[in-house]
Amino acid sequence: MQTKYRILLPLISLAVLLAATFWMQPRTMSYFGVNLLFNLAVPIALATIAQMMIIMVNDIDLGMGAFVSLVACVVATFLQDTPVLGTIMLIGLILSYAAMGALIHRLELPAIVVTLGMSFVWGGLALFILPSPGGASPGWLRALMTSKPPLMPMAVVAAILFSIVTHLLIMRSGIGTVLRGVGGNTRAVQRAGWSVIWLKALAYGLAGLFAVLAGMALVGLTTSADANIALRYTLLSIAGVILGGGEFIGGKVSPTGAVIGALTLTLASSFLNFMRLNPDWQIGAQGAILILVLTARLLFAKREART
């Protein structure tokens, strides 16, 4: 029952927002319109999934935006010019994320601080690679991100694909259940004979993998990169996870919800554009929508909150 509620509310908020957008701007109700609305949601959805992997094991990643920016810089330079070296670097970045998870667990460090410190490192490396905005998107990536699949726009196909894959991985598979168990009760998982350090490394590694995919998708859309391109993803991804029904502790996350949360956040800014709101209030209205959706969650989660 509870899992059902968790996914119900994000779905409703997205549906309401989408209906409002269609009502205000009927022309968006087309293949092309929907693609425009959700195009930029693809990298945000991937970053949100990455953040969810970290929140799943009771940690929080304040360096996500800087990391995605770094990936974008690597993709726009090395992956474009020397694909082999670029691929090796991206794999190295994923492994370093896994190592960070292992380190955080082994030395019992606060994740909020380590990821914060690492955000400086990622940001510095990104500046090193790309001191000024530039680079170019590899052709195949550009082609993939601008492809026009039949029936549904690319962004929608991607969103459905991500949520199915991560749902199977996190909610249905054995290892996914154990990973959520780390967030729920680390000691119980340890007593059951699992190596928590490997599980944490796996969770962080998965986060790194999805963050790398986010950076690639971003470059595919923007065709160039700079060191600050995705800094706002840190807060967006956290908001997306929570909007999607996830919770900060207890391994209570929902991959599908996270994807929907990311879509809702992206749609909110388009919606505000259509409202012809004074630009001064755009950001504020986004905050207000966030608060509104989270308040609605209260009505659903009242029973849970009491316990």
Partner 1 sequence: MKNSMQIFTRPWIWSWLAAGLVFTMTLLLTKGQGAGGLAYAALSFGSFAAIVGLGQMLVMTLGPGNVDLSIPATMTLAATLGLKVMNSEPGNAMLGLGVALLAGLLTGGMNVLLIFLLRLPPIIATLAASLVYQSVAIWSNRGLRIKPPETLADFATGRLIGVPNVAWVALILSIIIWIVLERSLWGRWLLASGQNLRAARLAGVPVQSVRAVTYIVVAILASVAGYLLASFSGGAALNMGSEYLLMSIAVVVIGGTSVAGGFSNVPGIWGASLFMFLVVSMLNSYGAGAGLRMVLTGTIIIFIVIAASSRRGRL
Beta carbon of residue 227, minimum distance to partner 1 (angstroms, whole number)? 8
- Looking at the Cβ atoms of 119 and 222, the one nearer to partner 1 is 119
Least distance to partner 1, CB of residue 288, Å: 6
* Residue (18 or 285) nearer to partner 1, CB: 285
Nearer to partner 1 among residue 99 and residue 169 (C-beta)? 99
Nearest distance, CB of residue 50 and partner 1, angstroms: 17
As measured in angstroms, the least distance from the Cβ of 222 to partner 1 is: 21
Min. distance of Cβ 225 from partner 1 in angstroms?
Answer: 15
Question: Residue 101 is encoded by which pair of tokens?
Answer: 């998870």
Nearer to partner 1, 212 or 285 (CB): 285
d(CA 234, CA 241) in angstroms, rounded, equals 11
**Burial of 260 by CB count in 10 Å (0-12 exposed, 13-18 middle, 19+ buried)?**
buried
Least Cα distance to 44 among 250, 249, 202, 266 occurs for 266
- In the bound state with partner 1, the residue whose beta carbon lies nearer, of 191 and 306, is 306
| Beta bridge partner(s), residue 225 | 134
Q: What angle do CA 85, 89, 91 make, to 5 degrees?
A: 120
Select 247 or 274, whichever has its Cβ closest to partner 1.
247
Residues 6+ apart with CB under 8 A from 168: none
C-alpha closest to that of 224 among 41, 38, 75, 36: 75
Burial class (CB in 10 A: 0-12, 13-18, 19+), 244: buried
CA 16 to each of CA 13, 22, 170, 264: distance values in angstroms, whole numbers, following the listed order: 5, 10, 27, 10
**Angle subtended at Cα 200 by Cα 232 and Cα 42, rounded to the nearest 5 degrees:** 35
Shorter beta-carbon distance to partner 1: residue 27 or 306 = 306
In the complex, minimum distance from the CB of residue 62 to partner 1, in angstroms, rounded to a whole number = 7
Q: Write down the least CB distance from residue 42 to partner 1, Å.
A: 23
- Answer for the pair 221, 43: CB distance below 8 angstroms, yes or no: yes
Kindly list the residues in this chain that would bind partner 1 in the complex (CB under 8 A): 60, 62, 107-110, 112-114, 116-128, 131, 235, 238-239, 242, 247-249, 278, 280-288, 290-291, 294-295, 298, 305
Helix (H, G, I), strand (E, B) or coil at 46: helix
